[in-house]
Homo-oligomer: A and B are copies of this chain.
Amino acid sequence: MNTADLGLPVDVPSTALFTDQYEFTMLQAALRAGTADRRSVFEVFTRRLPEGRRYGVVAGTGRVMDAVENFRFDAGVLGFLREHAIVDEPTLEWLASYRFTGDVWGYPEGEVYFPGSPILRVEGSFAECVLLETVILSILNHDSAIAAAASRMAAAAGGRPLIEMGARRTHELSAVASSRAAYVGGFTSTSDLAAGFRYGIPTVGTSAHAFTLLHDSERDAFQAQVASLGSGTTLLVDTYDVAEAVRTAVEVAGTDLGAVRIDSGDLLLVAHRVRQQLDELGATRTRIVVTSDLDEYAIASLAAAPVDAYGVGTQLVTGSGHPTCSMVYKLVARAASADPKAPLQPVAKKSTGGKTSIGGRKWAARRADAHGVAEAEVVGTGPVPPELAGRQLQVELVKGGEVVAREPLDDVRERHIAARGALPMSAVQLSRGEPVIPTEYA
């Protein structure tokens, strides 16, 4: 594959401008100072989870690998950098042949994470690594925020299907990445056709209120829809009067009617009434789909209601209150000279103010108790203790500039279910709390 994974039905030649200008000015200054070739290790981690959240979900890793592979400089990009005098000629020359040649290790996509987890590690020369900061963080911070919300919603939904339908509430390409992240987090399908096109996520959708309003009567609209989509379709029953619409729906489609959708009102109450009415009409297998500003709490509150599927929009694509993660990309070690054999020295910001970090290249392992339940995220910089060697979390993603870890999205989804399932049960309670396992520094 040779296309940056933006979720577009089009080739994107380069991701090199999804970059903050300071990465280029640092490059230029380091090239001139002779420090650009110092071997360096950057790590992505977060100092905290969003308030009250019990775990994070790594998502976007697959997109990061594509972005790294497609980070290069064609004539158009170089022309822009030259024309706006963003870097000097020697730097432009250096950029013209840029390809990332280093290594990337990280938590596999779908894995859970905690404060301090070294989610991604990028190693190479300072010059080649420093340029990747923004594009890597954009992808991971966005996609992981959506996946975390999706995971909570999926846990709240139990086994009931979840439909992602938030495209209209976020940027058109953020929407595509959101569908992908929602699928990783446990959603079942999406309304977004671009996500179906790009990622093969199952797509669904039948009709809106506009379709009912277009026709001379609700009956006309239902007849038109059933004639076109069959009796297995989902009829939207809350344009005028719900009880009347349900009666009309079953008259028009018969008791084989696939589903009805309720998009407003007191969903708990209306779902019960509609279920009873459908059963009385003999449409006992007709399902009930609810949509209307749902979040994980609303989903959980409907657990006892006769609801067969949830459609979630706004709260999914906005991360249910936490639309971004606070992942940072920090230099944690570097050589003191450009000699490739020079040893790495840990480095870290030291000033006061809460933004300090721990230097050194880190390993991570998740310690489990005798029952296999996770009990701590262990992060260290020295040798890995033998008892944790088999529980390490980081895998090789890019080796010498080549992506080595592409995988199907369904594998990622399965991994997330397994990783979440190995956490203490309280991880999936919706009550606010601390991270469900502590992070220990070895």
User: Which residues of A are at the interface with B, using a C-beta cutoff of 8 A?
Assistant: 6, 8-15, 17-26, 28-30, 32-33, 35, 38, 40, 42, 67, 76-77, 80-81, 84, 86, 88, 126, 130, 133-135, 137-139, 141-143, 165, 167-177, 191-194, 196-197, 203-211, 213-216, 220, 223-225, 227-229, 238-242, 263-266, 292, 314, 317-319, 323-324, 326, 329-331, 334, 336, 347-355
Q: What are 29 inter-chain pairs, A to B, with CB distance below 8 A?
A: A8-B12, A9-B76, A9-B77, A10-B10, A15-B172, A18-B167, A19-B167, A22-B207, A22-B208, A25-B225, A29-B225, A32-B224, A35-B224, A42-B210, A77-B197, A126-B210, A133-B210, A138-B170, A173-B174, A174-B174, A209-B330, A209-B349, A213-B334, A239-B350, A239-B351, A264-B353, A265-B352, A317-B324, A318-B324
A25 touches B206 (CB 8 A): yes
Known: A29-B227, A216-B336. A9 touches B20 (CB 8 A): no
- A240: chain B residues at CB < 8 Å are 349-351
A208 to B9, CA, bound (A): 35
Total copies of the chain: 2
Please pick, from B14, B143, B330, the residue contacting A210 in the complex, using a CB distance under 8 A.
B330
A355 touches B224 (CB 8 A): no
4 closest A-B pairs by beta carbon, nearest first, are A21-B205, A265-B353, A264-B353, A22-B205
- Nearest residue (CB) in B for A25 is B206
- A223: chain B residues at CB < 8 Å are 33
- A20: chain B residues at CB < 8 Å are 165, 167-168, 191-193, 205
A224 to B197, CA, bound (A): 48
- A266: chain B residues at CB < 8 Å are 353
- A6: chain B residues at CB < 8 Å are 8, 172-173
- A229: chain B residues at CB < 8 Å are 25, 28-29
B214 touches A126 (CB 8 A): yes
- Nearest residue (CB) in B for A322 is B318
A209 touches B331 (CB 8 A): yes
B9 touches A14 (CB 8 A): yes
Known: A28-B228, A35-B214, A84-B203. A171 touches B177 (CB 8 A): yes
A213 touches B35 (CB 8 A): no
- If A33-B220, A138-B168, A264-B354 are given as contacts, then 4 extra A-B residue pairs at C-beta distance below 8 Å, sorted by A number, are A23-B208, A26-B206, A142-B171, A239-B349
A172 touches B207 (CB 8 A): no
Known: A196-B80, A214-B126. A138 touches B351 (CB 8 A): no
B133 touches A168 (CB 8 A): yes
Quick one: which of A22, A220, A347 has the most chain B CB within 10 A? A22
- A33: chain B residues at CB < 8 Å are 215, 220, 223-224, 227-228
A319 to B169, CA, bound (A): 13
B167 touches A138 (CB 8 A): yes
- A137: chain B residues at CB < 8 Å are 168-169
- Nearest residue (CB) in B for A129 is B210
* A86 CB to nearest B CB, Å: 7
- A170: chain B residues at CB < 8 Å are 138, 141-142, 174, 323-324
- Nearest residue (CB) in B for A16 is B193
- A208: chain B residues at CB < 8 Å are 22-23, 26, 133
A351 to B28, CA, bound (A): 63
A240 to B203, CA, bound (A): 52
- A174: chain B residues at CB < 8 Å are 142, 170-171, 173-174
B171 touches A138 (CB 8 A): yes
